[in-house]
Amino acid sequence: MAIVHKPDPANFALVVKQIYQLGVLSAVTSVLPGFSIGAVLAQQGYNQLVRYGSESALGLVKATE
């Protein structure tokens, strides 16, 4: 018995559904933490720049990274 084999044409819809579930629906797992980390970094960067009176440079700092 082979572990890997060609999918049966009758099960093609199931294979497409599983690929969609694993790929597209799991994108939230990657996007949400990325957005959260970016927001925290922006807030911390802003707080540091406020100390030196250069908070307007935050956009420049993030654009060069």
pTM above 0.95, yes or no: no
Domain spans of the chain, in order of start: 33-65
CB burial readout 13-48, b (16+ within 10 A) else e: eeeeeeeeeeeeeeeeeeeeeeeeeeeeeeeebeee
* Tens of pLDDT, residue by residue, the chain (65 residues): 567 777 678 888 888 888 888 888 888 888 899 999 988 988 888 888 888 877 777 666 555 55
Instruction: Write the single-letter amino acid at 40.
Output: V
Residue pointed to by tokens 């911390």? 44
